[in-house]
Structure formats: structure tokens, C-alpha cells
């Protein structure tokens, strides 16, 4: 069993919880909660591993990811009755997962020798948003990343911060800065309801 | 044209039929039926081939898969008027496809030298459930695998049986045991309506 | 920054515009329009690059694709108020994108040494239909390719033309012939509303 970083554990737990809460919202049973927890938490990483052409996705080699996801789902099942604001909790865990997987995506890019800023940012954003996107497709929702303006933007800003901090203070600092910045930007804009102007539906008359 | 195993042919036919029936349920035309048949039957294999990093998916190299799928679609079109229980037929073919592709997924894992139990089981489950999952996403349904508790579980049990039989009696016996066990478990639980407790939607009051 | 062919630029712009118009139809904001533009335009290429096992998708290495997509989205935002027939414009750009990416898919197959007709056609169709398919899944629509009969068929005919012209007159001529033929077949059948018979929903009584 390979070592998993703390950021990866946090991201896995957060996305698993957001998946479990989505399943509860969709009125699924214990089993559905478990499956949603796993797919949401490993989805981002599988997307990343496919894109960088890894021989086998990390979550397929290492049972830790599925195990952590199932424990998180169990935790949600035990305590869901005490959760008063389901939608808000879901968004909170989603923001933490977004931050964690953005940081991991950026780190994986740099670790596999991809140093161009565009590549680092794109891999970070796809890894960060992939899990939630898969969750929302399976739950038949238009994914967050399409609806919430400061979602991918938080991820992009976090990834840029990663590159800057990486050059100044190395890999570890960059990982944590990116994780925290992405999560906080997302949470702040969620809380303050920051959003861009809507175009409005074009009427056909 | 490469040789395709009997289990693969059975799985392809079964998933193609489940795809064709889904298209009929969604009120699509002949063409939609054909496309649903193909995507459902090759979906699981493409997912598997992407995960094990195969240079080119089998169904892209070998026209047999698409050909078998189209013939199955044609068969469904000819006889759909005589099908009285569409939903039940769909679930039956889906169960057979699940069993066949679970067995193939496990076999591919072992054949590519991946012997760890977790890897074999995960690859088996993803290959087995992939086709139906893609079908349901395209048909805008919440995928079976999220709703039916003894769906992925049947696949997991089948994959575990594969590993056990593989060690005792070799690859061929393991393939057929896994195929039959997965299909029968799924059909039995479908028939008896075995399911786990539902958590129930958390109300917001 | 690598060179991108004119057909690729046309396809990227067309699919980006179809994505942007879909986002407007779905009542999303500026941000959602941008994200839909990007995912639709790079989706087909990412599918293609995953299938041929490219180390890193082209759109991830080269920022030009995202840049062109965002400019196209900006263009749509500026002029959407003047678009009187949104659904028709969407279908037009979708047809152009289908043609362009079918041609690119066929070219990539031949360039990577895959000369069998089945492989060329399949890769062409998957590349051509991939972007629109991803767009429709994210927009929660049943994808065009499942509903419009002369969609994949236009792509298949275009790919066959590519192979014939490639043998007679080389790669460049084949690329443009395939692009034009696919787009024109699709547009003609759209305009004339050519379609196959519908099976009709099987009623349960």
C-alpha cells in the first residue's frame, strides 16, 4: 500500500462526503450513498491519471481511496439526521475537495515534468473539478463547474499560486498554499454569493 | 479480425439488447436504437482499455463488436412488438451483460499481470458496470449501479469468485464461474427484490 | 505553441459557439458560457487523444484551443441579442464542428499509422461526435448523435470519403473533402428534415 499525502486524504474524505450527501438528496439508499461517495472521490484522480497516460489509475492500484470513501459514507449515514443544512454542507465539502484536488493536480503535473504554466493550470483544474463533475452527471444535475462562476476560477487562481510558491518555496509549501487558497476563495464567494452577470435566456419571439 | 471469446459475444449481445430496449423506451428511432446498442455494448470494454492503458481499445480495432451490436439491435427492432414486459427484458439483458463483462474484466486484469485482489475486483466491477452506466447517462437516467444495491455487489462477489476459482481450477473455469455467479446473483436479487434500507431524504425543516 | 491546422481552428470555433449557445439556452451566466464553449470544443479532441493513447491531450499541451474557445464565447456573448434563431444557429455550428472533427479524426488515424478502414471510420466518428456528446451530457439533453439519424451517418460517410480521396489525391485533399462532405450532408438532412422511421414506444398494456 503506497503512501497517500494528507492533502489527498482530506480531498478524498471531502469529495466522498459531498457524494454521499448528493445521494441522500437524490433519495438513494445506503448502497447508493456508498457508490456516490466512491465515484466522487476517485473521479478526479482517474481523470487526471487518464490525461497524463498513467499505466493504471492510482485509485485502482491502491484500495485506500475506496476504503476512506466508504468510511466517510458510513460517517455521513450515521450523522445525516443531525445535518440541518444539507445543501450548505454539500457545498462546503465540495469546496474542500476542489481545493485539495486542484493542489494534487498541480503537484502531479510538476512531478511528471510538465512545467509549462498552461499545462499545470489545466491539469490542476481538471483534477480539481473532475470528481464533482462526475458526481453531478450521475446525479443528473448540471455540474457546479458550469453554474458557479467562482468555481473553476478559484481552481485557476489556486493553480497559479501553486506555480509562484513552487518557485519561491518548493513543492510542500506550494501544495498547502494552493489547497488553502482555492478552498478559501471558493468558500468566500459562496458565502458572499459573488457572481458574474447572467446573459439571460434569448427568447424566441 | 481477432478471436473474441464466447463470454464476450454473450456480453456484447446482452448489453446491445439492453441499449436497444432503452432507446425504444426513450422513444428513439431505428438509428437511435442502433447507436444505443453500440455504445452500451462497447462502453464497458472501452472503459477497461482506457484504465489498463491499452494502445487502442479492442472495439476500435475489431469491427466484430459493432457488427454484433447492430445485429442485436436489428433483432430487437424486428421483435420489439412481441415484447410485453420491456422493463423486465431490459433488466434481464443488463444482468447477463453485467455478468459477462465482470468476468472479462477480471480475466483482462489477470492476463495483464495484475494479480492483487483489489485490482482484479475493481477492474472487473468497472468493466462490468461501465456499459450500463454509459447507457444510463446518455438516456438521462440515474445509472442502475447507483440505484440497485445488489448490482455492484453481484459484480464484486463474482470477481472474488473468479480469483478463488482461478487459483483452484485455472482461467477458463474462473471465467465461466464468475459470469454465471454474477448474473445469477443479480437476477435472483432482482426477482426477489432484495434491497438494503433506504436512508430517506433529509427534509430541510 | 504548435501549429494548428485551419480545419482544426474552424472546428474549435464552431463547437465553441455551439457550446456557448447551449449555455445561453440553459440560462447560464457569462462564466457558464465560457466553460461550455471550452468543454465542447476540446471534448472531441480529448476523446480522440485518450483512445489513441497519446501521452498528453493536444488541448492540454497547447493553450490555443482554450484561447480560441474563449474568444468564440466572447463573440457569442457580444452578439447573442441579435441571434433570432438560436436553435438553428446551434445546429449549424454543430454541423460545422462535426465535419471538421470527423476530418481531423480520420487524419489522426492515418497519421498514427492506423490504415484499416474500420479504425479510420471509428476514430473519425468518435472524434467528430465526442464534443457535442459531452456538451449534451453536461446540459442534460439526450445527445444529438442518439436522436438525429443523419448525424453519425454523415460522419461515417465523410470518413469513407476521406479514405477514398486519401488514396487518390493525398492527405490535404482528403481532409478538406471529408470536412465539407460531412458538414454538407448533415446540413442538407437537417434542412430537409430527412429521417428514418421511428419505432414508437412499446406500451405496457
- Closest to C30 (Cβ–Cβ): which among A51, A145, A199? A199
Return the exposure string of A170-204: e unless at least 16 CB atoms fall within 10 Å of the residue's CB, then b.
Answer: eeeebbebbbbbbbebbbebbeeeeeeeebeebee
* pLDDT at residue C2 in the model: 45
Please report how many Cα atoms fall inside a 13 Å half-sphere around the Cα of residue A203, on the Cβ side: 1
Beta carbons of B38 and B122 less than 8 angstroms apart:
no
Query: Is residue B3 scored above 60 in pLDDT?
Result: no
**Best of C29, C59, C89 to mutate (most A CBs within 10 Å, chain A):** C29
**Which of the pair, B46 or A2, is modelled with greater confidence?**
B46
Which of A45-59, B86-100, B111-125, C12-26 has the weakest average pLDDT?
Answer: A45-59
Question: With contacts defined as CB-CB under 8 Å, which chain B residues touch A54?
Answer: 53
Partners of C198 in beta bridges: B29
- Closest to A201 (Cβ–Cβ): which among C27, C30, C54? C27
Please report how many Cα atoms fall inside a 13 Å half-sphere around the Cα of residue B119, on the Cβ side: 19
Give the Å distances, CA to CA, from A23 to A37, A65, A86, B88, C97: 8, 19, 11, 25, 36
Of C201, C88, C90, C91, which is closest to residue C151 (Cα–Cα)? C91
Query: Is residue C205 scored above 50 in pLDDT?
Result: no
Q: How far apart are CA B75 and CA A142, in angstroms?
A: 35
Partners of A29 in beta bridges: B198
Q: How far apart are CA A38 and CA A36, in angstroms?
A: 5
Beta carbons of B35 and C146 less than 8 angstroms apart:
yes
Residue B81: CB atoms within 10 A of its CB come to 10
Give the Å distances, CA to CA, from B109 to A2, A60, B97: 20, 11, 18
Query: Is residue A58 scored above 70 in pLDDT?
Result: yes
- Closest to B140 (Cβ–Cβ): which among A63, A87, A140? A140
Instruction: State the cell numbers at A147.
Output: 453554474
**Best of C2, C24, C26, C31 to mutate (most A CBs within 10 Å, chain A):** C31
For chain C, list the contacting chains (3+ Cβ pairs, <8 Å). A, B
* pLDDT at residue C37 in the model: 92
Give the Å distances, CA to CA, from C177 to C3, C68, C126, C173: 21, 24, 18, 6
What is chain C's Cα-based Rg?
17
What confidence tier does B184 reach under pLDDT thresholds 50, 70, 90? very high
Beta carbons of A6 and B125 less than 8 angstroms apart:
no
* pLDDT at residue A159 in the model: 95
- Distance between B132 CA and the closest CA of chain A, angstroms: 12
Q: Report the percentage of chain C scoring pLDDT > 70.
A: 89
Q: Taking CA atoms, what residue in B is nearest to A34?
A: B146
Cell numbers 447572467 correspond to A198
Average pLDDT for residues C171-200, to the nearest whole number? Answer: 81
Torsion of CA A22, A25, A29, A31, to 10 degrees: 0
Average pLDDT for residues C114-123, to the nearest whole number? Answer: 87
Domain assignments of chain B as residue spans, ordered by start: 6-192
Q: Average per-residue pLDDT in chain B? A: 84
Return the exposure string of C76-88: e unless at least 16 CB atoms fall within 10 Å of the residue's CB, then b.
Answer: bbeebeeeeebee
Question: With contacts defined as CB-CB under 8 Å, which chain A residues touch C140?
Answer: 140-142
pLDDT digits (tens, 9 = 90+) for B45-78: 787 787 777 777 888 888 888 899 999 999 988 8
Residues of B with CB under 8 A from a CB of C: 23-33, 35-36, 46, 50, 53-57, 60-63, 66, 77, 80-81, 83-87, 137-140
Average pLDDT for residues C87-102, to the nearest whole number? Answer: 90
Q: How far apart are CA C121 and CA A168, in angstroms?
A: 49
* pLDDT at residue A194 in the model: 66
Q: How far apart are CA C184 and CA C178, in angstroms?
A: 10
With left for phi above 0 and alpha for psi between -120 and 50, is residue A69 left, alpha or beta?
alpha
Query: Is residue B7 scored above 80 in pLDDT?
Result: yes
pLDDT digits (tens, 9 = 90+) for A38-56: 989 988 778 778 777 777 7
CB B27 to CB C200 under 8 A? Answer: yes
Query: Is residue A2 scored above 60 in pLDDT?
Result: no
* pLDDT at residue C69 in the model: 93
pLDDT digits (tens, 9 = 90+) for C7-39: 989 999 999 999 999 988 888 888 888 888 998
* pLDDT at residue C4 in the model: 67
CB A86 to CB B114 under 8 A? Answer: no
* pLDDT at residue B151 in the model: 82
**Which of the pair, C76 or C200, is modelled with greater confidence?**
C76
Give the Å distances, CA to CA, from A6 to A9, A103, A124, A176: 5, 12, 17, 10
Residues of B with CB under 8 A from a CB of A: 50-53, 114, 116, 118-119, 122-123, 126, 133, 137, 140-143, 145-149, 152-153, 195-202, 204
Q: What is the DSSP string of chain B?
A: -----HHHHHHHHHHHHHHHHHHHHTT-BHHHHHHHHHHHHHHHHHHHHHHTT-SS-HHHH-THHHHHHHHHHHHHHHHGGG-S-HHHHHHHHHHHHHHHHHHHHHHHHHHTT---HHHHHHHHHHHHHHHHHHHHHHTTS--HHHH-HHHHHHHHHHHHHHHHHHHHHHHHHHHHHHHHHHHHHHHHHHHHT--PPB--PPP--
Amino acid at each position: 500500500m503506497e503512501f497517500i499525502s494528507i492533502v489527498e486524504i482530506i480531498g478524498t474524505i471531502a469529495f466522498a462526503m459531498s457524494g454521499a450527501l448528493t445521494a441522500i438528496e437524490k433519495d438513494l439508499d445506503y448502497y447508493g450513498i456508498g457508490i456516490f461517495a466512491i465515484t466522487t472521490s476517485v473521479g478526479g484522480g482517474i481523470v487526471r491519471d487518464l490525461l497524463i497516460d498513467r499505466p493504471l489509475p492510482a485509485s485502482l492500484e491502491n484500495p485506500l481511496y475506496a476504503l476512506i470513501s466508504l468510511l466517510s459514507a458510513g460517517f455521513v449515514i450515521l450523522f445525516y439526521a443531525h445535518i440541518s443544512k444539507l445543501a450548505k454542507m454539500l457545498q462546503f465539502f465540495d469546496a474542500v475537495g476542489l481545493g485539495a484536488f486542484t493542489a494534487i493536480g498541480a503537484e502531479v503535473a510538476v512531478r511528471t515534468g510538465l512545467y509549462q504554466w498552461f499545462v499545470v493550470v489545466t491539469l490542476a483544474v481538471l483534477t480539481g473539478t473532475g470528481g464533482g463533475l462526475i458526481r453531478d452527471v450521475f446525479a443528473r444535475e448540471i455540474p457546479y463547474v458550469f453554474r458557479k462562476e467562482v468555481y473553476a476560477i478559484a481552481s485557476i487562481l489556486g493553480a497559479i499560486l501553486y506555480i509562484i510558491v513552487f518557485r519561491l518555496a518548493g513543492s510542500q509549501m506550494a501544495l498547502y498554499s494552493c489547497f488553502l487558497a482555492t478552498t478559501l476563495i471558493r468558500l468566500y464567494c459562496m458565502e458572499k454569493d459573488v457572481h458574474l452577470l447572467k446573459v439571460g435566456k434569448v427568447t424566441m419571439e
